[in-house]
Structure 1
Amino acid sequence: MMQEGNSENLEKARKLMDDFARRTGLTGSGGDAAQRYLWTDAFAVQTCFGLAHALDEDSYRKLALRLIGAVHEHLGKYRQDDIRKGWISGLPEAEGQQHPTAGGLRIGKRLPEREADEPSNEQLEWERDGQYFHYITRWINALLQARQEAGQQRYADWAAELIQAGGKFIDKSGGRMRMYWKMSIDLSRPLVPSMGAHDPMEGLICAESAREAAPDKASELEPLISDFKKLCTGRDWSTTDTLGIGGLLLNTLRAAELASAQGTLPEEIRPEKLLADSLYGLKVYARMHEANRPARQRLAFRECGLSLGLRALSGMKEQVTALDLGELDRFIPLADAIEDFWSNPANQQAPTWTEHLDINAVSLAASMVAGHYPHAFCAIRNTQ
């Protein structure tokens, strides 16, 4: 059943996703099917599932499943300009088709990864390929959602195999444990040795979620879950970064789902803690937010990540009864303002929109769709 929401925004979201599908070769005869980018595609999958329900059009569910196949075919394999060929995992073609996430998934950046003997260039690294752990966790969420939507266990198995591959981001050398932020395509070496602020928390939530969805793989996941628990110990997840807050809100929803299924979670990822850390960031951001700042000084995908988190968590109040989400209501006008601002055609002419068109368009569409069907962003089965 479709939730109440802005029907005009829903039609805008449909157009944004239809255009994205054409640009990236998912539909029509043009576009570039190899134009895959893991973060954008992860949210595109969930947004298409949301559109399928909100519009009662199964074509969007089929599009989401087609996109999953395209991502695995392109980002589960080495780049066309790489001397290495085939699946990143090293599996033969037929076996790789059955286990497309076993070696992880590439980011999809436009430049090849940095060579082992090449000096690091911080600015250039943003444009180079490799693997990001936080992108892997986003794809795991998309796969777990696909398991619910398609009713096929293979999606959960692929999610479990992907988080297992992500275990290579954990470094235990030198008598301490930490995570790398970015690794080479084959996961053999770090490209950026620093650790993402939320990576351990997202890793633990994804590993616990994969164990819940793929119980046959539980014993294989136990050591990884233990490592993530150690990495999470004593950490504070609060942030004032818009995209970070949005991600924390989505993870609050995932943690609430896990707590409902398991009864208890480690203190560091209990939904009550994640919600408190989210609210801290929201309060700070709300004081800093400049509604009249021009589009050329703003990044749509970061702001829409925040509005998506607000829409999804607030929209699941009736399902997430163990949490008091009443305080979120005061921040919903932020989501309204963000969506209205980036829906304005004039603001979509700014370089900050056009230069990041796919990720901006999908992020805005995701936020709008979450206002109608938030279930698409949490993998909680809709019982309405």
Structure 2
Amino acid sequence: MSANSNRSLLRFTEAMNLVYGTFDHLSPDAAARWTAPDKPGAGGHRGRYLWTDAFGVINFITLSKETSSPIYLTLAKRLVHTVHGVLGYTRDGTARLPGATDAEPLAGGLRIGKLAAHGADGDGQYHHYLTLWMFALNRLAVATGEDGYSRLAVQLAKAVHPHFVVRGYGEGGEEEEAVRMVWKLSTDMDTVLVPSEGHLDAATGYVVYRVLQRTVEHMGSPRGLLGGEIADYRRLMSRGGKLRASRDPLDLGMGLWMCHFFRDEDWARELGGQSLEMARTMLGEKRGLMARDASRRLAFREFGTCLGLQCYGAQEETRRGVEAVVNFWNRYIEESIDEDLRPISLVMYAAALIPGAWQDEYLGPG
């Protein structure tokens, strides 16, 4: 391993330690008993925040591969167990979310983990957080060979899809094709809290559900378990103007990340090409992000760009831009970032350093 690789791995581990406590010297027995801390934790309700912990799970898988240590897979499993035990339950922790059972613990979805129960930035369920968690479960299934995680991902996928995809009805009462998606639901998924449609929600669903289906079939389940859902997302993302490169650094990066799974398909080639052009502007040395003061930037959103570019594949100019962003935030990552945003920034910083298990080929075919 090169000096640069060693340095990146050290920074990666330090960032994860700051979120999940010191874990890199745990014995196998201690790792099997480990519980993800609520302080500092992932920064959400009772220490759990779904987006941050999804990155945490995938980063633990990366650590396992980079170090050849199975302990980190144990920690990934334990983090999944903790998340399901907090965000799969009502906020008071007394009952599973409506629709979930002991046999189907994710049939009620998963809460975001917002600190507030209600209000404009209150708790609920986001489609883009849920698909990220499905992907984390999928990566854990591939890394461990345990199909239970794959089946949990499919269970969650099938449970939330009909609540986020809004269908119309014809005059005769016949169901028409899916017409749109909604962005945010209540924790019980009975009420639409934000009726607008996320820019990449349909495309993310299309990509992640295909990855889930590929893995579950590889592990012996019947073909086409998610065929109807995938068809819905395909129709939704194919509407005119729905797929375009974003000027938002996080959206830009996550779009590139999605494209790298199916880069030979027309939609991915087009979106990927547009996004690379946008990234060149965004990461230019004398303009874009690097021309701004730290107080006018959000680290975690920029790390999304870095992650997406490394997964998709960047040209030399853009690779230098990725290095510049990561090096810039090295100076601020522990102290100057807002405390509420520190956990999400740290896990995404780690992923920007070593994308690892975020890359489709990293763990082999799933």
Same fold (TM over 0.5): yes
Kept after mapping to 1: 8 A contact 2:184/2:193? yes
- Letter of the aligned partner of 1:149 in structure 2? A
Segments of 5+ residues of structure 1 without an aligned counterpart are 114-123, 260-264, 315-326
Where does residue 342 of structure 1 map in the other structure?
Answer: 329
Aligned in 2, Cα 1:30/1:238: closer, same or farther, shift over 3 Å? closer
Structure with the larger helix share: 1
Q: Is 2:152 the counterpart of 1:171?
A: no
Correspondent of 2:273 among 271, 276, 280:
276
Kept after mapping to 2: 8 A contact 1:180/1:194? yes
Partner Cα distance (1:112, 1:159) in 2: 26
Aligned in 2, Cα 1:298/1:29: closer, same or farther, shift over 3 Å? closer
Instruction: Tell me how far 1:174 sits from its aligned partner.
Output: 6.4
Where does residue 118 of structure 1 map in the other structure?
Answer: none
Where does residue 378 of structure 1 map in the other structure?
Answer: 359
Q: Is 2:82 the counterpart of 1:73?
A: no
Listed one character per residue, the Cα deviations across residues 18-75 of structure 1 (whole Å, up to 9, x for unaligned) are: 1211299846797569311010011111111111222233222211111111111111
Where does residue 143 of structure 1 map in the other structure?
Answer: 137
CA RMSD of aligned residues (A): 2.7
- Letter of the aligned partner of 1:86 in structure 2? A
Q: Is 2:39 the counterpart of 1:39?
A: no
Partner Cα distance (2:327, 2:40) in 1: 28
Instruction: Tell me how far 1:236 sits from its aligned partner.
Output: 2.4
Point out the more displaced range, 44-53 or 206-215: 206-215
Partner Cα distance (1:192, 1:177) in 2: 16
Q: Is 2:251 the counterpart of 1:247?
A: no
Aligned in 2, Cα 1:227/1:108: closer, same or farther, shift over 3 Å? same
Partner Cα distance (1:293, 1:171) in 2: 40
Listed one character per residue, the Cα deviations across residues 82-111 of structure 1 (whole Å, up to 9, x for unaligned) are: xxx42224344x32xxx3222211100001
- Letter of the aligned partner of 1:304 in structure 2? F
Kept after mapping to 2: 8 A contact 1:144/1:379? no
Aligned in 2, Cα 1:151/1:5: closer, same or farther, shift over 3 Å? farther
Instruction: Tell me how far 1:286 sits from its aligned partner.
Output: 3.0
Correspondent of 2:354 among 369, 372, 379:
369
Q: Is 2:316 the counterpart of 1:329?
A: yes
- Letter of the aligned partner of 1:139 in structure 2? W
Kept after mapping to 1: 8 A contact 2:280/2:317? no
Relative to the length of structure 2, the TM-score reads 0.83
Q: Is 2:12 the counterpart of 1:13?
A: yes
Listed one character per residue, the Cα deviations across residues 184-241 of structure 1 (whole Å, up to 9, x for unaligned) are: 1111121000000000101111222222122336444222122112111133231111
Kept after mapping to 1: 8 A contact 2:185/2:194? yes
3-state SS of paired residue (1:177): strand
Partner Cα distance (2:344, 2:38) in 1: 22
Relative to the length of structure 1, the TM-score reads 0.80
Q: How many residues align?
A: 337
Aligned in 2, Cα 1:378/1:228: closer, same or farther, shift over 3 Å? same
Partner Cα distance (1:359, 1:47) in 2: 12
Partner Cα distance (1:44, 1:154) in 2: 19
Instruction: Tell me how far 1:17 sits from its aligned partner.
Output: 0.6
Q: Which has the higher contact order (CA 8 A, sep 6+)?
A: 1
3-state SS of paired residue (2:283): helix
Listed one character per residue, the Cα deviations across residues 338-366 of structure 1 (whole Å, up to 9, x for unaligned) are: 11111115x6432x443311101111111
Where does residue 90 of structure 1 map in the other structure?
Answer: 99
Aligned in 2, Cα 1:273/1:150: closer, same or farther, shift over 3 Å? same
Aligned in 2, Cα 1:3/1:232: closer, same or farther, shift over 3 Å? farther
Partner Cα distance (1:187, 1:30) in 2: 28
- Letter of the aligned partner of 1:357 in structure 2? R
- Letter of the aligned partner of 2:277 in structure 1? Y
Listed one character per residue, the Cα deviations across residues 224-269 of structure 1 (whole Å, up to 9, x for unaligned) are: 122112111133231111001110111012224xx6xxxxx6x43x
Partner Cα distance (1:282, 1:32) in 2: 32
Q: Is 2:154 the counterpart of 1:160?
A: yes
Instruction: Tell me how far 1:328 sits from its aligned partner.
Output: 2.9
